[in-house]
């Protein structure tokens, strides 16, 4: 007989992913065992296996749950009736809000991708590229932006270089609020490129 799901299954699963992201961000994927994950989640190994069949499944879910939120942000902003310039700023704000709330997941995404099997790694990279391509399309519509091609791609990657690594130095409780930081990034990236 199949085991039934608890009423709080999704909430517990999400809490386990949060703890797993913390552990992977601190110890690395290779430095954490399923026993370590179970201890971090304050559950038995058998219960952890009920939620996730393998450690690779945990890693994949940590990454894709983070990326799926960013993909959702892109879809919502691109579909809005705002100007292209405002859409760029709106996406930067949305990304920064999620990065601040998911610094461990962002760190895992940036550092542990090679620990996924090839098919799953390709899926994660595909989602990353869709986010980058959507931002590049918006940036390409701004006055003074580089023409399509290598310069526009470089402009786009400079943006992601600015925001993707904020988890290494930025303190959201410090003197600069996340939205103020997003405004700074948007101001820099929306300037015409030379």
CB neighbourhood size of 133 (10 A) = 13
pLDDT of residue 1: 45
Domain locations in the chain?
56-189
Spell out, as residue ranges, where the chain has pLDDT lower than 50.
1
Non-local (6+) Cβ contacts of 63 within 8 A are 105, 108, 109, 112, 113, 116, 124
Measured CA to CA, the distance from residue 59 to residue 57 in angstroms comes to 5
| H helices present in 28-148, as ranges | 34-41, 45-51, 55-78, 84-101, 103-111, 118-140
The highest-level CATH class for domain 56-189 is mainly alpha
pLDDT in tens, 110-139: 999 999 999 999 999 999 999 999 999 999
Measured CA to CA, the distance from residue 168 to residue 66 in angstroms comes to 17
pLDDT of residue 143: 87
């Amino acid at each position: 007989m199949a085991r039934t799901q608890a009423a709080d299954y999704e909430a517990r699963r999400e809490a386990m992913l949060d703890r797993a992201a913390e552990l992977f961000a601190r110890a690395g994927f290779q430095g954490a065992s399923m026993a370590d994950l179970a201890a971090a989640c304050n559950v038995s190994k058998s219960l952890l296996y009920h939620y996730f069949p393998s450690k690779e499944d945990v890693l994949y879910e940590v990454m894709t749950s983070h990326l799926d939120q960013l993909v959702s942000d892109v879809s919502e902003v691109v579909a809005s009736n705002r100007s292209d310039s405002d859409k760029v700023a709106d996406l930067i704000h949305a990304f920064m809000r999620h990065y601040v709330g998911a610094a461990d997941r962002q760190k895992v995404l940036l550092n542990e991708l090679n620990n996924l099997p090839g098919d799953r790694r390709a899926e994660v990279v595909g989602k990353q590229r869709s986010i980058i391509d959507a931002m590049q399309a918006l940036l390409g519509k701004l006055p003074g932006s580089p023409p399509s091609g290598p310069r526009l791609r470089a402009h786009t990657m400079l943006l992601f270089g600015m925001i993707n690594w904020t988890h290494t130095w930025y303190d959201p409780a410090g003197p600069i609020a996340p939205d103020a930081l997003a405004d700074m990034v948007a101001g820099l990236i929306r300037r015409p490129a030379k």
